[in-house]
Amino acid sequence: MRKIALFAVFLIFFAAASTAYAHPPSDIRIAFDPKTKMLQAVIIHNTSNPVNHYINKVDVGLNGREIIEHFISREDNNESQTVSYLIPDAKDGDVISVEGHCSISGELKKEITIK
């Protein structure tokens, strides 16, 4: 019984320690070119292991409605994930949102208004 209790404590400690290194993206830099209708977002997410701890999903919204859900298998590098999308319906005054999700824990959402 004591071995089971010790093993359970070890598992709880290990799970807590592994999530301590997880973190949401620290910033999202969004640019939209109204002529080409191209959106580019650089999601800043520093990690020492972009294969296991990375931006695994990006959601793009237009005026509060999700228009793109993009699943990603690994991060571009140890510092960021860059994504580009064609948004043909975007026009002046519209709000574009980009939300990056960490594969382990957390997310960050940023918005821009097209001018």
| pLDDT tens-digit map of 7-34 | 555 545 444 444 445 788 999 999 999 9
CATH topology of domain 23-113: Immunoglobulin-like (2.60.40)
Share of the chain above pLDDT 70, in %: 83
pLDDT at residue 59 is higher than 70: yes
CA distance 56 to 68: 14
Angle, alpha carbons 75-81-82 (nearest 5°): 135
Q: State the pairing for strand pair 65-71/55-62.
A: antiparallel
pLDDT at residue 98 is higher than 90: yes
With CA atoms as reference, report the closest residue to 100 among 88, 82, 85, 78: 82
pLDDT mean over 46-62: 93
CA distance 104 to 13: 16
